[in-house]
Amino acid sequence: MKNKHFAGIIIMALTFTSLSCGISRKKEQEKPKEVLPKIETLKDVADNDNKRVMIEGIYTQIDIRLKKENPAVKYTGQVAIKLQDNTNVFIYPPTSPESIRPKKEIKEMQDQQVRIVGMIFKNMPQSDLVKSKLPPAIQSSPYITYVEKIELVNPLPPKKSKRVTTK
């Protein structure tokens, strides 16, 4: 008799546990999406300094050399997002190894509208500037770090190759 009573209690406990787990999972799924501040101008950068944000702008390679001599333009993999007001927001500080973006990413996203989620900072880290020889315009530029994702906003259709046919 004790074993049957004990088995019944266990079955009830397991049933209650499985039901309550289903309820908690449902609550997790119903959580509203986080609304991030959208960065479109330098003012938005200043208003959201040191915050998690979403940036939309044009993915652009930047020549970060101090003296732009031979060759006149030289890209080494550093990228910025050009905002509506033409402010460049670097993807990581140019002195950081993460600032050199993968060639595949550059090829796919160059000159296209992108969306990035990460932490924004209105000025380059001063510790990096002491060691670097970056131009003053770059030294005072904002940057995004702790990048969670980069995605195309309105991807362009793939370019069609021009085939020459002969008769």
Spatial contact of 108 and 153, defined as CB atoms under 8 Å apart: no
pLDDT in tens, 80-115: 999 999 999 999 988 888 989 999 999 999 999 999
The SS3 assignment for 102 reads coil
pLDDT in tens, 20-42: 555 445 555 666 778 899 999 99
For residue 61, the cross-strand partners are 79
Write down all domains in the chain, each with its CATH number in brackets.
Answer: 38-152 (2.40.50)
The pair of structure tokens assigned to 106 is 């550059």
Spatial contact of 55 and 116, defined as CB atoms under 8 Å apart: yes
Q: Which of 65-74, 83-92, 112-121, 128-137 has the lowest mean pLDDT?
A: 128-137
